[in-house]
Chains A and B, each alone.
Chain A
Amino acid sequence: MEVQGEATMFDIDRWKEIISALKKNKLRSFLTAFGVFWGIFMLIIMAGAGKGLENGITDGVGQIATNSFFLWTQRTSEPYKGLRRGRWWSYENEDVDFIRKNVPEADIVTPRLFSGGGGGTSNTVRGERTGSYYIKGDYPEWAKIDPVEVTNGRWLNNVDVMQRRKVCIIGETIFKELFDADEEPIGEYLRINGVYYQIVGVIKPISNININGRTEESIFLPFSTMQIAYNYGNQVHIFGITAKPGHSASTVEEKVMAALKERHKIAPNDVQAIGHINLEKQFKQFSSLFTGIQILTWIVGIGTLLAGVIGVSNIMLVIIKERTQEIGVMRAIGATPRKVIGQIILESVFLTTVAGYLGLFLGVLLLEGFNKILEMAAASGSQDIFIKQPEVNFTVAVACLTILIVSGAIAGYIPARRAVQIKPIDALRDE
């Protein structure tokens, strides 16, 4: 009689053995599995919710340049070089070249003029219809900082600015309010503060972040056109600036502000004269919030999972105790210790894996269902949803399963070791 090598893991008999052992104790198997199931289910749900919140907020931010900052002018708060405090001042066209020359770390430097909006008097007229919108004078580069989606026609180009063309790009809301749905807006004219402009494009925002008023309620004119048409001289209202790759937006911001203060005779210690917002700082706050949520998710999730696995180990111990006699018989009729250990580990791994996979599956299913509901809500026009696409990435799921299988093996190994340390006779006498 020849003893062949250990049966492999995929030996059908082994699996029959496992299934029958588990089937025999349905309730116990179920309770064991439930611990693991719940652990991974919670982990997936929490990770998904955390990710959903992150997606919701990052998506709201859209593709806006996160290394950008914006500078505008306010009244001075310090007297300087013989000038009184409380002085009004403004940027000039020349500041663009000045910044580029003095702060080489600045990448895009784009000026903007703006007026109107905010429910003021109507400034835009098309035939019978009128509206009050935000008017912005821009260079094409503005869209590199705050990208927009062109739904019809085109965005501003350099020729518009160079030739001071009287063209405009309108936000989607304006199209809806001033046009019928089936009308073609391109080529039509709008009268904005008394001047006629031809519409060349319709856009909608990508980001939820609005600068100088809601993008969908804005009309974009070439910067030069707006400056001339409304007698702004060489004024600039606001600068949008990005830092070159490898430079911190905050540092560049400091440098630009210092340079501008010097050029415009503002006291270096005047903190009020330049109004500014730095997206890099805002994003850093958000990302540390997300990191916090993720850490919390993992701590709680892994804790729950661990509790599940310890539960499995515990139950396996009980099972072994109950099955001492059976194990004794198995060994009396020729099962090697390795075989007994292998069998018990496989049972444990099987149980944790199936339960874990089920938890994973149902967790993902629930997230998916939730996602569908969110998408429906978003499609029906709810703007205030801050959770989007709750999901777990594939690596996380695979990592979870791996942890489960490994911990299942450990959970099985500890009681299995115990089982084979019991002498077969003791096992057989144990009744």
Chain B
Amino acid sequence: MITLKNLHKSYFTASNSLHVLKGISLDIHQGEFVSVMGSSGSGKSTLLNILGILDSYDKGSYHLDGKLIQNMSEKNAAKYRNETLGFIFQSFNLISFKNAMENVALPLYYQGVSRKKRNVTALEYLDKLGLLEWAEHMPNELSGGQKQRVAIARALISKPKVILADEPTGALDTQTSYEVMEILKEINQEGITIIIVTHEHDIAAMTDKIIKLRDGVIGDLIINGDLASFKKSYAKNVATL
């Protein structure tokens, strides 16, 4: 589903340049549930932005669903984002003057789906996430967990192949975090690839593959057996709940 080969990315400011990603090679298959970890400055957000076609890269290659993503026009990038990718953000990023249903329906608006049709679809997804009765509420009338669930519904409505989540639980308390993770797991079981960026070990422990970034390169790739022990050491929190 996602193939990265020797990916480089630098940021340039007026006075100096910052080499953030220093050659990342990575394979993520369809249906995988992956987390990206790393201390701040390790390049995990940058990686996610590149994966989300929200940013460009300097060297290497990025294939998404078999297609090379490179020097894309904004228009094409928008189309790809809309059709292939779903986004979930730490700060939810709901449009504050639209109610839950309208927020969820927004991606379909950009696909040119009629209002009636997309609102019906939006209600279906809200129902799936247990928010049907909150459909008419504005974002500021919702709790953090509810907001993130609205954001998840919005990410799902365009039936993406990959969901990219940037610290999806970063602004939530532990219990709500686990609830959100449960939802993401369910989605993953339906066959959607999920990539989350997190710095919380317990959250990462719930995924199938952990990519640890260190100074712009992949430090550790925890899978299979290693993953089991990783889970063991960090799953305590889950148990004590």
A-side residues, CB < 8 A to B, are: 1-5, 7, 12-13, 20-21, 23-24, 325-326, 328-339, 420, 423-425, 428, 431
B74 within 8 Å of A (CB atoms): yes
Question: Which residues from B are CB-within-8-Å of A2?
Answer: 111
Q: Is the CB of B112 within 8 A of A7?
A: yes
Closest to B79 in A: A3
B12 within 8 Å of A (CB atoms): no
Question: Which residues from B are CB-within-8-Å of A423?
Answer: 54-55
Question: Which residues from A are CB-within-8-Å of B98?
Answer: 20
Q: Is the CB of A333 within 8 A of B75?
A: no
Binds A, one of B24-32, B81-89, B223-231: B81-89
Q: Tally chain B residues at the interface, Cβ within 8 Å.
A: 30
Q: Is the CB of B78 within 8 A of A331?
A: yes
Partner of B83, one of A1, A5, A420: A1
Question: Which residues from B are CB-within-8-Å of A428?
Answer: 54, 89, 93
Given contacts A3-B79, A23-B97, A326-B95, A334 and B111 within 8 Å (CB-CB): yes
Partner of A337, one of B74, B106, B115: B74
CA distance A329 to B104 in the complex (A): 12
A-B contact pairs, 20 of them (CB 8 A): A1-B158, A3-B82, A3-B83, A3-B110, A4-B112, A7-B112, A13-B109, A20-B97, A24-B97, A329-B89, A330-B95, A330-B106, A333-B81, A333-B82, A333-B154, A334-B78, A334-B82, A335-B78, A337-B74, A423-B54
Q: In this complex, which of B55, B81, B96 has the most chain A Cβ atoms within 10 angstroms of its Cβ?
A: B81
B128 within 8 Å of A (CB atoms): no
Q: What string of 1s and 0s marks CB contacts (under 8 Å) between B33-57 and chain A? A: 0000000000000000100101100
Q: Is the CB of A337 within 8 A of B95?
A: no
Q: Is the CB of A425 within 8 A of B49?
A: yes
B159 within 8 Å of A (CB atoms): yes
**Interfacial residues of chain B within 188-205, with CB under 8 A of chain A in the complex:** none
Q: Is the CB of B52 within 8 A of A12?
A: no
Closest to A328 in B: B93
Q: A331-B74, A336-B78, A423-B55 are in contact. List 7 more A-B contacts (CB 8 A).
A: A3-B82, A326-B95, A332-B54, A332-B93, A335-B110, A425-B54, A428-B93
Q: In this complex, which of A1, A7, A12 has the most chain B Cβ atoms within 10 angstroms of its Cβ?
A: A1
List of 9 A-B pairs having minimum Cβ-Cβ separation, nearest first? A334-B82, A4-B112, A334-B110, A24-B97, A336-B78, A329-B93, A333-B107, A425-B54, A337-B74
Question: Which residues from A are CB-within-8-Å of B174?
Answer: none
Q: In this complex, which of B78, B93, B96, B115 has the most chain A Cβ atoms within 10 angstroms of its Cβ?
A: B78
Given contacts A333-B87, A336-B75, A338-B75, A21 and B97 within 8 Å (CB-CB): yes
Q: Is the CB of A1 within 8 A of B159?
A: yes
Question: Which residues from A are CB-within-8-Å of B87?
Answer: 332-333
